[in-house]
Amino acid sequence: MGGKKLVEKNLNSIVKKQPFHDYANWWKLGNALSEFMSDSIISQWAKLHHNNSDFGLVKNEVSEYLKVVYGRKARVSLVEDFVNKTFSYPIQSGEFDALSYSFYRSAFQLIENHIKEYDHSLTRERRLFTKRAGKIFFQQVHNHLNLELPLDLKNEPSFLQLKDYLQNLGIFLKTQGYLRDHFEFKFELDIEYAGKRIVQTESAFLDNLENNGIAYALYEMGYPAILPSAVYLYHTIGEAQHHSSRTIEEVFERMGYEARETDDFDPMAYPSNRVIEFWEIRKLKG
């Protein structure tokens, strides 16, 4: 699983190398998802060092992305509608793909341009930006679904509660259009990774976590709306948005665990209908 990160020089070259013809027909995103995404992305983008909140630059990026990737013109008010959470005309999947690409590309470039004003490496700071946005999105979805998380994962009832929580999160992501047709976060796996075979039954998850210090999971997605832009950001800048992954990461962090996809995950390595992340889960120190 995973692959080598290859950074292309520009969007045009990577689109020619990896077009997404199966994303040509757009679908509607739910207003709740669009609103929560707007809040989580815009709030963190606006806080970046030396960001004068120039939406004109983002609008130009959105227009260029839609032209190059989808061969379409951007709606005149698309960026303003997203920023102001005005969804009388619902955001379409390709439009959100372009918005996500453009705001995250802007954020990643702002961080790079002023990296001396940050505490960590460029790679780390970009990832922290995605985490901050994911925390806000998580809190909004959490409140919207009105579900309870277990305090920890020390027994079977808490594990069942976590699985129920993730199932409801997946239903939200599908019904709101972030994922077109598939969500599964599973704890049973049998894979080859980094030269070794990793086998885990669902019943062994808690034991691995408690006694081995590490347990595993697979996150499967069917047609995530941002797959094209995730591929294009990863292969032009070296980091992707990971909207839903950072949300699930926050789910585990609230219970006292560090959970995330492996660093070598490359979204280009999978078909659109079954994108798979391999996750490692550990107890947080301290």
Pairwise CA distance, residues 173 & 29, whole Å = 10
What is the rounded average pLDDT of the residues 145-163?
A: 96
| Residue-level pLDDT at 3 | 42
Confidence of residue 7 (pLDDT cuts 50, 70, 90): low
Tokens linked to 89:
């005309």
Could you report the per-residue pLDDT of 207-256, keeping only the tens digit for each?
999 999 999 999 999 999 999 999 999 999 999 999 999 999 999 999 99
Judge contact between 95 and 75, C-beta under 8 A: yes
Distance CA 176, CA 171 (A): 8
Predicted TM-score of the model (pTM): 0.95
Tell which residue, 208, 237, 212, 226, has the closest CA to residue 267.
226
Can you list the alpha helix ranges (DSSP code H) found in 149-284? Answer: 156-175, 205-207, 227-236, 243-254
| Domain spans, the chain | 11-283
Those residues whose C-beta lies under 8 Å from the C-beta of residue 202, and which sit 6 or more positions away, are 186, 187, 188
pLDDT in tens, 15-48: 999 999 999 999 999 999 999 999 999 999 999 9
Judge whether 78 and 62 are in contact, CB under 8 Å. Answer: yes
Beta strands in 48-175 (DSSP E): none
Tell the residue number behind the tokens 């599964």, with chain if given.
184
Which of 111, 123, 133 minimizes the C-alpha distance to 234? 123
pLDDT in tens, 119-153: 999 999 999 999 999 999 999 999 999 999 999 99
Please tell me which residue, 174 or 5, carries the higher pLDDT value: 174
**What is d(CA 150, CA 214) in angstroms, rounded to the nearest whole number?**
19
| pLDDT at residue 285, rounded to an integer | 80
CA-CA-CA-CA torsion sign (253, 260, 222, 272):
positive
Which one-letter DSSP state was computed for residue 181?
E
Distance of alpha carbon 112 from alpha carbon 128, whole angstroms:
13
Q: How many helices, marked H, and strands, marked E, lie in the chain?
A: 10, 6
| Dihedral sign from CA coordinates of 177, 6, 235, 257 | positive
Beta-bridged to residue 205, according to DSSP, are none
CB 268 within 8 A of CB 228: no
* Mean pLDDT value across the chain: 95
pLDDT at 138: 98
Angle made by CA atoms 236, 241, 242, in degrees to the nearest 5: 130
